Copies of this chain bind each other. A is one copy, B any other.
Amino acid sequence: MSSELTSIRSGSLSAQAFGVIKDAIFTGQIQPGEAIRELHLARSLRVSQATVREALAQLESAGLIVRQANRRTTVTSFTREEVRDRLELRMLLEERAAVLAAARASREDLAELGKLAGGIAEAIAAGDHYEHVQADIRFHRFIWALAGSAILCQTLDHLTTPLFAFLAVIHQASQRQLGTTRPHERIVKAMRGRDEAKIRAEVRAHIEGSYAEFLTSPAETVRAFVEGRIDVS
């Protein structure tokens, strides 16, 4: 019956390494564009290079890092145009997901979704930047899962995970208060109403808001990560 006493928080070494590095990226301990050295990481995590490489392969698959063969590995960074393109595509998919989810969601699902939206507001109120981002991800992931298409969920995950990480660091560095329009609550409300046009409009507004927040970030903060990103060597 109740198994997994020790293993709840362990998993394979490479999976643990994956988690540690992922958190380091989301918190900005390793910043966008910064290099990751395999042997250094291996020493600091007390594992072998092979284990680190396995973790790096997964991180690359998640889009959180970029590996250049025989050269180096860096944390993913985006130009303004890349952020724009990703958000545009995200809008297309997220609209569909929200509409499908609204059609399939039970009353309990919507209640749970409301709780998740509340969790975001709480994290913001508490000033917990890391928890804010994680709660935001959980909220959206829940909608994606409700949509009932595994591939849609997976695609949105791949599309947005590196973006969440990047924007989290940008915004953390710029120390601004975000999400004051409570767009998540608005989306939940629209889904409750099951009005497709309204749902689409709220989703669009939310993502357009994200883009606006990004664009109005202090220019010097963004530039620090974005500029010189294209390797001219």
Contacts and interface: CB of A to CB of B under 8 A. Distances in A.
A227 interface: no
A12 B158 CA distance: 26
Contacts of A149: 85, 88-89
Given A12-B69, A89-B152, A92-B96, 12 more contacts: A12-B70, A50-B50, A54-B57, A57-B57, A57-B58, A85-B150, A85-B152, A89-B151, A89-B155, A92-B93, A151-B159, A155-B158
B61 A57 contact: yes
Contacts of A158: 155, 158
A64 to B, nearest CB: 12
A195 to B, nearest CB: 21
A150 to B, nearest CB: 7
A221 to B, nearest CB: 23
B155 A155 contact: yes
